[in-house]
Copies of this chain bind each other. A is one copy, B any other.
């Protein structure tokens, strides 16, 4: 299994604090050591980092902890290989372009017997069940809409598509096109929305705390989504199984 981390915010925000705790699980507090990756949207542009080394001591992960890249939509993943060998092509998140936008996808879970035929323009480069499922999602999205639809329409379509895949195993995933971040849980995924008044948060996986009041403005809103809660003094909400939720501007939209 793997672990997921996502962030959606209404203002460009850095992920350094959350990523520090998350990366501890890649060889420190947990054994997700078979590669990792993170993608940051900046406007329509994307920074995409993957590494087959474990995030705990990867030089690229060290850069992410030290260089506060600010983004409104981020997806990160640390991998414990179940299907597909340990190599760069199998590191999440995966990226494709559709309708002139980048789409980023990361998955936690196992899919059994889900190898639908890919007859259109999206094919996996690596050998994971996850990338195959992502390519199918992209193919079906492309067939469902002529151009990039509204977030509300996309949410409806993605909900139908996720329901096709979910019966094949555990399908916790994060997906973003830079406008919104979608999260789907089968087994475990938690989120927190931070807004004014901001408080001090303490990481679960390392002796580190941050006073968000000192680095935010009253209008900032940030949602963080993670496999397991990253802080020990905040209340994280579990995502209900088999429900796809959309996060926009740091808020989880009503179902």
Q: Contact partner of A125 among B90, B102, B125, CB < 8 A? A: B102
Indicate with 1 or 0, residue by residue over A136-171, a CB within 8 angstroms of chain B CB atoms: 000000100000000000000000000000000000
Query: A89 near B44 (CB under 8 angstroms)?
Result: yes
Number of interface residues of A (CB under 8 A): 37
Q: How far is the CB of A98 from chain B (nearest CB, A)?
A: 8
A178-B171 Cα distance, complex, nearest whole Å: 31
Residue A27 is within 8 A (CB to CB) of chain B in the complex:
no
Q: How far is the CB of A45 from chain B (nearest CB, A)?
A: 3
Indicate with 1 or 0, residue by residue over A43-63, a CB within 8 angstroms of chain B CB atoms: 111111111100000011001
Number of copies: 2
Query: B59 near A126 (CB under 8 angstroms)?
Result: no
- Provide the main secondary structure of the chain A interface: mixed
Residue A1 is within 8 A (CB to CB) of chain B in the complex:
no
The listed residue with most B CB atoms (<10 A of its CB), out of A47, A59, A142, is A47
A100-B60 Cα distance, complex, nearest whole Å: 26
Query: A125 near B44 (CB under 8 angstroms)?
Result: yes
A58-B122 Cα distance, complex, nearest whole Å: 33
Task: For A66, give the chain B residue with the smallest CB separation.
Answer: B59
The listed residue with most B CB atoms (<10 A of its CB), out of A49, A91, A97, is A97
A21-B37 Cα distance, complex, nearest whole Å: 29
Q: Contact partner of A87 among B45, B48, B87, CB < 8 A? A: B45
| Pairs A–B under 8 Å by Cβ, sample size 5 | A43-B87, A44-B125, A44-B126, A49-B49, A100-B125
